[in-house]
């Protein structure tokens, strides 16, 4: 499939650890810059500091236990993409921003997920996760909870039968933004400490999550650093999508947009508590 797509050059952007508001502002600024003719198709890898709970675009903020987040030293933010809540810690997060006309993401939402999942699979296989798979079009779960990793999604990446990578997407201004999280290590049930649930609900959902989802370290039997994971995932995307990756920073125009989006959108209640 990739051999029929003309080779193209994308920017490879690996940003320093940042808070949730900055990370979401960067992804959106890249999209707006590209839509305005001032940006480049970009594959980005990043981390979160401090740990951050992100809500899906249409998720109600009452799912967040704000007092618990403060006590834990965590922040929370609303994503521009759909899906359910994710606790970002001990992970590699990726984002892809390109034109909706790019053959690598063209077609339906499901077709786009399928194409980009090839990059995820390629990178994970380079890390030794030879049994990774990407499931197809997933039905809605009528009992889905507030957390992302306990609900199915289109072309989610699984390893040994458990969900490993969760992704979300938005199409805006003729562009596609897809980002997702690869848990490198740690206890995935920590997310329930940040959600407004009863103790019984947290216990029940924690048991279900341990059955449904996993981390890379748990499946490989070794820890993978952020740097090692980023290098492997970049190689996987390059091969699967037939792209050359050229490291380059944000432009001055993009950084100015990041600063504005962070200050005026991602740190204010009119966005984070709009639902």
Domains in the chain (CATH in brackets) are 6-272 (3.30.930.10)
**pTM to 2 decimals?**
0.91
The catalytic residue among 92, 148, 165, 205 is: 148
pLDDT tens figures, 88-100: 999 999 999 999 9
Given this model, what pLDDT does residue 4 score? 75
3-state secondary structure (DSSP) of residue 145 = coil
Radius of gyration of the chain (CA): 18
Beta strands in the chain, from DSSP E residues, in sequence order: 8-14, 42-46, 52-55, 75-78, 86-88, 91-99, 132-134, 157-159, 162-172, 175-183, 243-247
Count of C-beta atoms within a 10 Å radius of residue 225: 11
pLDDT tens figures, 25-65: 999 999 999 999 999 999 999 999 999 999 999 999 999 99
Based on the residue annotation, tell me whether 52 is a catalytic residue of this protein. no
- pLDDT < 70 positions in the chain: 1-3, 136-155
Given this model, what pLDDT does residue 137 score? 45
Q: Which helix (H) or strand (E) holds 111?
A: helix 109-126
Given this model, what pLDDT does residue 106 score? 86
85 DSSP 8-state letter: B
């Amino acid at each position: 499939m990739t051999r029929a797509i003309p080779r193209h050059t994308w920017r490879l952007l690996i940003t320093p650890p940042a808070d949730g508001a900055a990370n979401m502002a960067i992804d959106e600024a890249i999209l707006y810059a590209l839509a305005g003719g001032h940006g480049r198709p970009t594959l980005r890898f990043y981390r979160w500091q401090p740990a951050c709970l992100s809500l899906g675009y249409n998720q109600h903020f009452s799912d967040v236990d704000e007092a618990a987040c403060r006590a834990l030293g965590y922040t929370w933010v609303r994503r521009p993409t759909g899906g359910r809540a994710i606790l970002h810690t001990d992970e590699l997060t990726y984002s892809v921003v390109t034109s909706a006309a790019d053959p690598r993401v063209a077609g339906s939402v499901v077709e786009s997920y399928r194409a980009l999942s090839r990059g995820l699979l390629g990178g994970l296989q380079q890390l030794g996760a030879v049994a990774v798979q990407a499931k197809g079009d997933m039905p809605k779960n009528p009992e889905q909870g507030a957390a992302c990793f306990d609900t199915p999604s289109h072309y989610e990446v699984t390893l040994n039968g458990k969900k490993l990578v969760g992704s979300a997407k938005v199409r805006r201004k003729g562009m596609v933004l897809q980002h997702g999280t690869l848990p490198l290590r740690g206890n995935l049930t920590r997310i329930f400490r940040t959600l407004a649930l009863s103790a019984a609900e947290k216990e029940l959902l924690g048991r279900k999550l341990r059955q449904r989802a996993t981390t890379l370290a748990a499946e490989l039997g070794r820890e993978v650093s952020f740097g090692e994971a980023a290098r492997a995932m970049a190689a996987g995307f390059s091969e699967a999508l037939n792209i050359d990756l050229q490291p380059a920073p944000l432009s001055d125009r993009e950084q100015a947009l990041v600063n504005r989006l962070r200050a005026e959108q991602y740190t204010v209640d009119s966005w984070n508590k709009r639902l």
